[in-house]
Structure 1
């Protein structure tokens, strides 16, 4: 499961990111309202956690523009604005749920999963959330975690994003520039060479699976089975 966390409080964003990643979810973080809308459209997350007090563009404006653009992603508003009027305004703007701060992390996770289930993915409840198996690895369609031998692989979020992309086309090259967009979405300050560091770390972590991460000069990267 991929979450978009739009929160300008650095401490809160770090806490939520770590909590959800420990629970097997992929988290994209953003602290600016205007940039959040662009990232939302580019990443198409399964759910959005949205703070209302944001720099650049207020959270309600982000939500309003997202709905106007046809984005139907389930949204939980997280905010210190806890009055009934604020909750009604948020729900009328297009939010699916509302949790005033402070909140319980277990309850928040339960609400996220419930919203995603109700958003139209009824098929995932009827069949195991397991994707195609390749070299013993498969992606859990619900959590987004990659499993090998029945156990979740211990991968950092950027390593996980890269492996997701490569497992989507095993044996086929994916351009370095495309992988950079998927691994570092919206992070304009990151140097292009950073993708090489992620590839180096991922290569070591999948070595035991029988898969090889191959660098193709001038083309990109691909996964292939070890001979």
Structure 2
């Protein structure tokens, strides 16, 4: 049974969402605050989070930041009464996967949850296929990848990447010189049926370049933009 954590402080909404999720065959853990949600992670391992932004104390953005800092890569759907674009951008920057503005349809919420679970399965299958392909020769790249630890090594220095950062880098690294469109990267790293646009790819590429520059500024420059098309690694 797929596990979902719902972090929401509005009691009536919690009841409605939990009952609908359970009727659809999901197991649900609820938390009324970000602090409680983090504490529950000691005993449960959610496969997907539904998080309200307007939580008491630690808000939804901070909770999302804490989850990604802990390298918890489970998909996150943000719920909010605010529909401003800046909130969506901040959510994507922090690693959210989807965004729903209140009031919303429970049927649509369930549909989006199912899409995210299908995407997780598709990405896992794609990663297995990519892992079977030979990496570019070390003499050419001076780089090595560790898919288990999601880290890269250069001149005996190591950098641990966030899960999607590593998935992006691994795909580009294993196909040196090949240009991937934003749509292709979104499809292959995030999976089919994503509900957000290709700007999330730009956000993650920008963040990935920043992380690579801490290892070697020249390495970050090898992650190149093909203007109007997409990205490649040389």
Deviation of the 1:41 alpha carbon? 5.2
Deviation of the 1:42 alpha carbon? 3.4
Q: How does 1:10-159 map to 2 (within 5 A)?
A: 10-40=11-41, 42-120=43-121
Preserved CA contact (<8 Å) 1:4 1:40: no
**TM-score (norm. length: structure 2):** 0.50
Preserved CA contact (<8 Å) 1:77 1:99: yes
Deviation of the 1:38 alpha carbon? 2.4
Deviation of the 1:56 alpha carbon? 2.6
Q: How does 1:157-176 map to 2 (within 5 A)?
A: none
**TM-score (norm. length: structure 1):** 0.52
SS for the counterpart of 2:91 is helix
Deviation of the 1:70 alpha carbon? 0.5
Structure 1 runs not aligned, ≥5 long? 125-227
SS for the counterpart of 1:42 is coil
**Counterparts of 2:66 and 2:91, CA distance in 1:** 13
Preserved CA contact (<8 Å) 1:53 1:79: yes
Task: Note the aligned Cα RMSD (angstroms).
Answer: 1.7
Structure 2 runs not aligned, ≥5 long? 126-234
Does 40-49 or 65-74 show the bigger shift? 40-49
**Counterparts of 1:25 and 1:10, CA distance in 2:** 19
Question: Structure 1 segments of 4 or more deviating over 6 A?
Answer: none
- Residues 122 and 95 of structure 1: CA distance in aligned 2, closer, same or farther (over 3 Å): closer
Deviation of the 1:62 alpha carbon? 0.5
Count of residue pairs brought into register by the alignment: 124
SS for the counterpart of 1:28 is strand
